[in-house]
Structure formats: C-alpha cells, structure tokens
C-alpha cells in the first residue's frame, strides 16, 4: 500500500510540478519514511530540514504530504520574532488552505525538546494541527511543557541541518503583528501580505531530496 501511495505522489508531482494545488484525498493516506530531508529555497537563500518520524509520526506524515504537493511554495514567513520563532504555513490559494484546514491531524505527545533549529507544528486547540509550522530560533524549553488551550507542549517533528543562518536573516521588523491577520491571509493569500507587510520574506520552492 505504501509503495502505491508513493507512486501516486510521484505522478502527482510530475503532473502538477511544485505549484500549490488541491491534492487528491488519497494522498492523506501517505506515510513518511522514517527519516527524510527537504530543501527550502527562500528569498534569503536555502536551508535544509531533516524530518524524523519517531519524533511525531502523524506530524511527519502530514509534513511529507504537504511537501509532496508543493504546499509551502510561495508561502509567506509571516511571523518572525528574533530569538524566538519563525512561523509559516498559510498558502497563497484560498481553496488549498481550506482543504488542509478541513483535514487536521491528531495530537501527539512531546518526544523531544524544542531546541534551537527544531521545527514544530503550530496548534491552537485539541487536534488542530494542519499546515502551520514554526522554527525555533533559540532553545525554547517552555514550549515543551506549556499548557495551551488544553494541550501540553508543542511536539517537534524536524530540525534544520544546514542553512540556519538563512533562517536567522528573515526580516523581523513586523514581529508577531502579521500573525494577527491570519484569517485575511487564508482568504486573500500573498496579495494581502504584500500589501500590508511588504518586507516579509517568502519560501519560493521546496523539494524532498533524501529518504
């Protein structure tokens, strides 16, 4: 079954390239390898992440699905708080955002710490993880155990293995403020971000590179 699903992803990518599209629901069944890498090309340069399924299996599967369908291409890095986090994961197309928003994943326990360079899913309630991620810019130990809307901590799913200096160079001048506009970005995409926050950086393209 896994081989069949991976072939579906492969043909899907050949057909659509790496643009944001609404995927076939069969892709929601795809499982990630135990470990894989992905390259993120951004407006400031390239960084590479490595994803570990044993850290957060359900989250790793979802990240694999999102990357395989090009979801993070043309995504704004809408929350950049120096020394804390970089957050992203709202797409440029309303219908694509709606698809993933309707398919959240189940919660999982924190298996490893939110250290500098690790990546975790953002969430705002029980079983609410969808597509938004944050990169820890520091050792954010409080995020391992913080109680937030009935949940304990934020489980990391990956870490940056090269290009962390690129991540640290993303424009931080707006701080948390763009995150207050998430509903508008969900509907209007990058047009809204570029109008309200013209100096933000963006993920240009992503690609799974190693399994």
By the 8 A CB rule, do 108 and 62 touch? no
The count of structural domains within the chain is: 1
- Give me the long-range contacts of 93-96 (CB less than 8 A, separation at least 24): 93/20, 93/189, 94/186, 94/187, 94/188, 94/189, 95/22, 96/20, 96/21, 96/22, 96/71
Question: What tens digit of pLDDT does each residue of 143-171 get?
Answer: 999 988 788 999 999 999 999 999 999 99
Whole-angstrom distance, CA of residue 34 vs CA of residue 138: 26
Tell me the CATH number at 93: 2.40.100.10
Residue-number span of the structural domain to which 66 is assigned: 2-210
Residue 153: what pLDDT? Answer: 94
CB of 172 closer than 8 Å to CB of 82: yes
- The answer to whether residue 125 scores a pLDDT higher than 90 is no
Residue 96, pLDDT score? 96
* Structure token pair of residue 123: 């969430």
Over 50: is that where the pLDDT of 9 sits? no
Q: 38 near 208, Cβ under 8 Å?
A: yes
- Report which secondary-structure segment, H or E, holds 210: strand 202-210
Measured distance CA(74)–CA(64) in Å, rounded: 17
| Cβ atoms 160, 135 nearer than 8 A | yes
Flag whether pLDDT at 2 surpasses 70.
no
Out of 21-25, 32-36, 175-179, pick the least confident: 21-25
Q: How far apart are CA 30 and CA 12, in angstroms?
A: 13
State residue 211's pLDDT score: 66
Confidence at residue 24, expressed as pLDDT on a 0 to 100 scale: 87
- What's the pLDDT score for residue 19? 60
Please tell me the number of Cα atoms within 13 Å of 156 on its side-chain side: 26
Give the Å distances, CA to CA, from 162 to 5, 141, 159, 172.
29, 22, 9, 20
Cα 63 from chain centre: 7
**pLDDT (tens digit per residue) in 65-102:** 999 999 999 999 999 999 999 999 999 999 999 999 99
pLDDT over 70 at 173, yes or no: yes
For the cut 80, the answer to whether the pLDDT of residue 39 exceeds it is yes
Residue 13 confidence (pLDDT) above 50: no
2-16 vs 57-68: helix crossing angle, rounded to 10: 30
The stretch 100-117 carries a mean pLDDT of: 97
User: Residue 17 pLDDT more than 80?
Assistant: no
71 in Cβ contact with 133 (< 8 Å)? no
């Amino acid at each position: 079954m896994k081989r069949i699903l991976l072939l579906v992803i492969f043909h899907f990518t050949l057909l659509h390239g790496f643009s944001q599209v609404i995927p076939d629901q069969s892709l929601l069944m795809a499982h990630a390898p135990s470990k894989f890498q992905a390259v993120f090309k951004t407006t400031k340069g390239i960084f590479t992440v490595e994803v570990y399924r044993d850290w957060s299996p359900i989250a790793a599967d979802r990240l694999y699905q999102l990357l395989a369908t090009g979801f993070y291409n043309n995504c704004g890095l809408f929350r950049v708080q120096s020394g804390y986090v970089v957050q992203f994961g709202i797409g440029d197309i309303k219908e694509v955002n709606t698809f993933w928003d309707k398919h959240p994943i189940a919660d999982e326990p924190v298996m490893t710490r939110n250290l500098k360079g690790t990546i975790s899913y953002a969430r705002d309630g029980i079983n609410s993880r969808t597509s938004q991620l944050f990169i820890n810019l520091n050792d954010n130990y409080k995020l391992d155990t913080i109680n937030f809307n009935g949940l304990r901590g934020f489980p990391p799913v990956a870490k940056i293995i090269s290009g962390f200096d690129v991540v640290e160079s993303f424009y931080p001048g707006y701080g948390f403020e763009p995150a207050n506009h998430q509903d508008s970005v969900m509907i209007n995409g990058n047009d809204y971000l570029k109008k309200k926050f013209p100096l933000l950086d963006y993920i240009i393209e992503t690609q799974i590179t190693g399994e």
